[in-house]
């Protein structure tokens, strides 16, 4: 955030504003509060790109009638531990939590629950869903596919979304381990930030529209693409590509949603896919009862040991040693829940535009 002018807002102000914006479109009270909670969680956890910074995109899609404000989700198929769900083109922020709940309820009865959901829209941060399982002594998993931005290794065009994977494991006295990662090398937000600052980007982040590696962020924006985690063949770019494919199949193909380059765009200004191969975008949720494998308390004690052992790793020069996955988000949450959430001015201005349009106050 350094060098970029920002204004700080208490999280409750952002939560209240989001809720009222969603309410404006006739989204029921509980659903609106739920959707606002997912966005607030991203803002608190420091994942700025996925919080209220996205409210304008949701606002636009709702304004255009492209998202159903009152979805009735439908279970298409199920077994005791699996289900596919049609999200009725609702907000991912509403449909996602409902589907995740179904996965956890299945796990409560059958030991595990695995739900693939199609006909949905962007669902916020994957970590939000994985964390929910911890409240029920379960291991939680969440994935989603998304608009094309990433090239397969050896490709020269956008074919896959940033397709994140999240998984959470509880500790006992230690905080949980929360892995929450896109399957590309670097986030698109970092490209935009470098561009705004006129800086070049590291090798391995992206390609230009001819498929050549580039360090110019403009090249990526102008028809280039992000590279998968691992970047090139030598450093394992085929692995990041494989993970992105896995997410796309579990979320898209398995649920009957769109996949690959046909995943619909999140923002109105983005390119419309060449064809439709399913409905909306897709998510995948998993929950497993810890005591379906081992006594939950024993598991958590081992996790505490695990976390302490990894914190005690000999540090690389110039570092304080390894973090535990989830540390940076936890640190952000500690600070922001007290001191508020800094929003860069372009985001503040966008929210003011919404405020003026629909008459919901925003200071």
Positions in 242-261 near its own copies (CB under 8 A): 242-243, 245-246, 248-250, 253-256, 259-261
Alpha-carbon gap, residue 149 to 25, rounded angstroms = 29
Choose between 35 and 226: whose C-beta lies nearer to its own copies. Answer: 226
Q: Which residues contact 6 (CB under 8 A, 6 or more apart)?
A: 342, 343, 344, 345
- Candidate residues 230, 264, 280, 342; the one interacting with its own copies per rule CB under 8 A: 230
Question: Judged by CB under 8 A, how many residues of this single chain contact its own copies?
Answer: 91
Choose between 72 and 275: whose C-beta lies nearer to its own copies. Answer: 275
Q: Does 149 bind its own copies (CB under 8 A)?
A: no
Residue 92 beta carbon to its own copies: minimum distance, rounded to whole angstroms: 19
Residue 268 backbone phi and psi in degrees, to 5: -60, -35
Residue 22 beta carbon to its own copies: minimum distance, rounded to whole angstroms: 30
Q: Does 236 bind its own copies (CB under 8 A)?
A: yes
Residue of 172, 68, 187, 72 lying closest to 125 (CA atoms): 187
Contact segment (CB under 8 A) with its own copies among 21-29, 39-47, 52-60, 152-160 equals 152-160
Residue 341 beta carbon to its own copies: minimum distance, rounded to whole angstroms: 23
Residue 325 beta carbon to its own copies: minimum distance, rounded to whole angstroms: 4
Binding to its own copies in span 88-107, by CB under 8 A: none
Alpha-carbon gap, residue 28 to 26, rounded angstroms = 6
Binding to its own copies in span 311-330, by CB under 8 A: 313-317, 319-323, 325
Alpha-carbon gap, residue 151 to 219, rounded angstroms = 14
Choose between 239 and 358: whose C-beta lies nearer to its own copies. Answer: 239
Alpha-carbon gap, residue 307 to 147, rounded angstroms = 35
Q: Does 202 bind its own copies (CB under 8 A)?
A: yes
Q: Does 294 bind its own copies (CB under 8 A)?
A: yes
Which residue has 């959901």 as its token pair? 117
Choose between 308 and 334: whose C-beta lies nearer to its own copies. Answer: 308
Query: How far is the first Cα of the chain from the last one, in angstroms, to the nearest whole number?
Result: 21
Q: Does 79 bind its own copies (CB under 8 A)?
A: yes
Residue 107 beta carbon to its own copies: minimum distance, rounded to whole angstroms: 8
Torsion sign, CA atoms 50, 29, 94, 269 = negative
Binding to its own copies in span 24-63, by CB under 8 A: none
Alpha-carbon gap, residue 73 to 59, rounded angstroms = 21
Residue 119 beta carbon to its own copies: minimum distance, rounded to whole angstroms: 13
The number of angstroms, rounded, from the C-alpha of 306 to the middle of its chain's C-alpha atoms is 26
Beta bridge partners of 68: none
Q: Does 308 bind its own copies (CB under 8 A)?
A: no
Can you give the length of the chain in residues?
A: 363
Residue 49 beta carbon to its own copies: minimum distance, rounded to whole angstroms: 16
Q: Is 28 left (phi over 0), alpha (psi -120 to 50) or beta?
A: beta
Alpha-carbon gap, residue 26 to 14, rounded angstroms = 19
- Candidate residues 47, 231, 266, 362; the one interacting with its own copies per rule CB under 8 A: 231
Choose between 314 and 338: whose C-beta lies nearer to its own copies. Answer: 314
Choose between 82 and 89: whose C-beta lies nearer to its own copies. Answer: 82
Q: Does 309 bind its own copies (CB under 8 A)?
A: yes
- Candidate residues 29, 199, 305, 349; the one interacting with its own copies per rule CB under 8 A: 305
Alpha-carbon gap, residue 185 to 191, rounded angstroms = 11
The DSSP H or E segment spanning 160 is none
Residue 134 beta carbon to its own copies: minimum distance, rounded to whole angstroms: 13
Choose between 236 and 340: whose C-beta lies nearer to its own copies. Answer: 236
Residue 23 backbone phi and psi in degrees, to 5: -60, -35
Residue 84 backbone phi and psi in degrees, to 5: -115, 145
Alpha-carbon gap, residue 34 to 71, rounded angstroms = 14
């Amino acid at each position: 955030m350094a060098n970029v002018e920002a204004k700080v807002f208490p999280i409750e102000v952002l939560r209240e504003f989001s809720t009222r914006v969603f309410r404006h479109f006739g989204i029921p009270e509980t659903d609106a509060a739920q959707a606002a909670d997912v966005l607030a969680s991203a803002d608190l956890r420091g994942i700025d790109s996925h919080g209220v910074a996205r409210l304008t995109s949701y606002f636009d899609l709702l304004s255009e009638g492209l998202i159903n404000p009152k979805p009735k989700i439908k279970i298409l198929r199920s077994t005791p531990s699996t289900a596919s769900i049609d999200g009725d083109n609702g907000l991912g922020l509403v449909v996602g939590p409902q589907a995740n709940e179904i996965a956890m309820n299945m796990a409560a009865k059958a030991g595990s629950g695995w739900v693939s959901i199609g006909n949905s829209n962007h669902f916020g941060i994957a970590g939000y869903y994985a964390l929910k399982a911890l409240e029920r002594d379960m291991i939680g998993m969440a994935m989603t596919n998304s608009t094309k931005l990433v090239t397969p290794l050896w490709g020269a065009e956008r074919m896959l979304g940033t397709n994140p994977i999240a998984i959470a494991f509880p500790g006992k006295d230690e905080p949980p381990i929360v892995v929450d990662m896109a399957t590309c090398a670097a986030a698109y937000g970092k490209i935009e930030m470098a561009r705004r600052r006129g800086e070049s980007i590291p090798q391995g982040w992206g390609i230009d529209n001819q498929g050549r590696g580039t360090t110019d962020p403009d090249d990526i924006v102008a028809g280039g693409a992000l590279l998968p985690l691992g970047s090139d063949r030598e450093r394992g770019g085929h692995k990041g590509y494989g993970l992105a494919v896995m997410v796309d199949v579990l979320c898209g193909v398995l649920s009957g949603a769109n996949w690959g380059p046909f995943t619909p765009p999140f923002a109105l200004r983005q390119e419309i896919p060449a064809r439709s191969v399913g409905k909306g975008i897709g998510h995948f949720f998993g929950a497993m009862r810890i005591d379906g494998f081992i006594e939950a308390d024993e598991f958590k004690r081992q996790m505490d040991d695990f976390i302490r052992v990894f914190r005690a790793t000999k540090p690389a020069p110039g570092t304080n040693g390894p973090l535990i996955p989830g540390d940076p988000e936890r640190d952000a949450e500690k600070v922001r829940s007290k001191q508020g959430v800094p929003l860069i001015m372009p985001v503040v201005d966008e929210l003011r535009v919404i405020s003026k349009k629909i008459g919901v106050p925003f200071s």
